[in-house]
């Protein structure tokens, strides 16, 4: 890796892509499965519908489709990719990593890769990791993907959670750059609050057994109210910090892309930030629900497709999820 003119290698986003499965599950469809209704779901969450992957369609397939679109957008060939990071809490298998399946499907013959597990903040942690690898000079081109088949870990008998989630994928291509693209970042975790949001079984603590099945431990468990409060506080605080660290004000931000968990969370975060930020928030959770690790890259790519993100825009991303874990990143898009 050659040094740039001032000796510093920067990282920048050069392309974005997304994929959403074809099948649409509406609130009315859900009302046939659990005791709920369209009005409750829309007013409490802002979600109208979500996409559900086919039974034979997996996280790696969605990740591959999103990555293909991102590579085309960046004009990068698969064999130029050095690193693939897949942020997911629904990998195809515990191992091999989903990243290996994506590597093979795309023909990224020179890449290494791994999965990153940090629930809904996984994509930002993956972007942070790829940025570090690029700025160190060890990697030139990275594919950073968020992909989830949450329908496989959703308890379809629990109305408190099953209305929230959906399937999908998003990806960005990050490359070494002479101009800074990743302007600031801030990540955090608090394992004292690990129980607030979890999938208790499938790991070594509760290997699959008749008991774990009976206790429904292979599904997402969540305390909704507590999660709401923590999400709002930590996303608002992180947003303030990364905008300041980037040497910017909220006025300079062209688009805010928050984790798409719940419109009411996004509204409460925006209300706690300076200026009228809500109109600058990109929202697509009405059509996709919460897709966890896929949520931010799916939103980024869709925003670009819709003309809401243009080269040189300052984009603020904030996320929050199980761990607890959170992160914020400010980028200059395609600098």
Partner 1 sequence: MALEDKVVDIIVDKLGVTRDQVKPEASLIEDLGADSIDTVDLVMTFEEEFGESIPDEDSQKLKTVGDIIAYLKSKGKE
Ligand X SMILES: CC(C)(COP(=O)(O)OP(=O)(O)OC[C@H]1O[C@@H](n2cnc3c(N)ncnc32)[C@H](O)[C@@H]1OP(=O)(O)O)[C@@H](O)C(=O)NCCC(=O)NCCS
In the complex with partner 1, the residue whose CB is nearer, 178 or 276, is 276
Residues 6+ positions from 268 with CB-CB distance below 8 Å: 228, 232
The number of residues making up the chain comes to 335
169 versus 232: smaller Cβ distance to partner 1 = 232
Partner from partner 1, ligand X, none binding residue 268, C-beta < 5-8 Å depending on class: partner 1
List 100, 120, 162, 281, catalytic entry: 120
Active site residue 259: yes
Q: Which residues contact 322 (CB under 8 A, 6 or more apart)?
A: 89, 119, 120, 194, 196, 197, 198, 199
Give the CB-side neighbour count of residue 104, counting CA atoms within 13 A: 7
Cα(334)–Cα(311) distance, rounded to whole angstroms? Answer: 5
Beta carbon of residue 160, minimum distance to partner 1 (angstroms, whole number): 11
Q: What is the largest CA-CA distance in the chain?
A: 62
Q: Which is nearer to partner 1, 64 or 230 (CB)?
A: 230
Contact partner, 158, from ligand X, partner 1, none, Cβ < 5-8 Å per class:
none
Task: Report d(CA 65, CA 18) in Å as an integer.
Answer: 7
- Choose from partner 1, ligand X, none: what does 43 bind? Cβ within 5-8 Å by kind: partner 1
Rounded to 5 degrees, what angle do the CA atoms 190, 44, 296 make? 50
Nearer CB in complex with ligand X: 293/335: 293
227 contacts which partner out of partner 1, ligand X, none, CB within 5 to 8 A by kind?
ligand X
Nearest distance, CB of residue 49 and ligand X, angstroms? 14
Q: Which is nearer to ligand X, 96 or 224 (CB)?
A: 224
- Strands 83-87 and 141-149, sheet pairing: parallel
Of residues 306, 230, 304, the one with CA closest to residue 74: 304
Residues that bind partner 1 (CB under 8 A): 43-44, 225-226, 228-229, 232-233, 264, 268, 272
Binding site for ligand X (CB under 6 A): 36, 40-41, 44-45, 120, 159-160, 163, 222, 224-225, 227-228, 231, 261-262, 290, 320-321
Task: Tell me the closest approach of the beta carbon of residue 268 to partner 1, in angstroms.
Answer: 5
Name the residue whose CB lies closest to ligand X. Answer: 224
120 is catalytic: yes
Q: Are the CB atoms for 173 and 143 separated by under 8 Å? A: yes
């Amino acid at each position: 890796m050659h040094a740039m003119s001032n000796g510093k290698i920067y990282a920048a986003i050069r392309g974005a892509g997304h994929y959403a499965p074809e099948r649409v599950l509406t609130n009315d469809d859900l009302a046939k499965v659990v005791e709920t209704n369209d009005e409750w779901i829309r007013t409490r969450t802002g979600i109208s519908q979500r996409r559900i992957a086919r039974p034979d369609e997996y996280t790696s397939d969605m990740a591959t489709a999103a990555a293909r679109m991102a590579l085309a957008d960046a004009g990068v060939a698969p064999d130029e990719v050095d690193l693939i990071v897949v942020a997911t809490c629904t990998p195809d298998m515990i191992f091999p990593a989903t990243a290996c399946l994506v590597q093979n499907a795309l023909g990224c013959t020179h890449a290494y890769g791994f999965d990153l597990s940090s629930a809904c903040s996984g994509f930002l942690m993956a972007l942070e990791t790829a940025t570090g690898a690029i700025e160190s000079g060890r990697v030139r081109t990275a594919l950073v993907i968020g992909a989830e088949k949450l329908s496989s870990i959703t308890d379809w008998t629990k109305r408190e959670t099953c209305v929230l989630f959906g399937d999908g994928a998003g990806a960005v291509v990050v490359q070494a750059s002479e101009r800074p693209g990743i302007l600031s970042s801030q990540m955090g975790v608090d394992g004292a609050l690990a129980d607030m949001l979890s999938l208790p079984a499938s790991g070594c603590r509760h290997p699959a057994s008749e008991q774990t099945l009976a206790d429904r431990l292979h599904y997402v468990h969540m305390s909704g109210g507590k999660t709401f409060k923590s999400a709002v506080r930590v996303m608002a605080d992180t947003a303030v910090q990364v905008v300041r660290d980037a040497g910017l004000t909220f006025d300079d931000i062209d688009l805010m892309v928050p984790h798409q968990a719940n419109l009411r969370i996004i509204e409460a975060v925006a209300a706690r930030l300076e200026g009228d930020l809500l109109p600058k928030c990109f929202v697509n959770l009405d059509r996709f629900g919460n897709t966890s690790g896929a949520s931010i890259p799916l939103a980024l790519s869709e925003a670009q497709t819709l003309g809401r993100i243009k080269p040189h825009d300052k984009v603020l991303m904030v996320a929050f999820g199980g761990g607890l874990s959170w992160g914020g990143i400010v980028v200059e898009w395609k600098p």
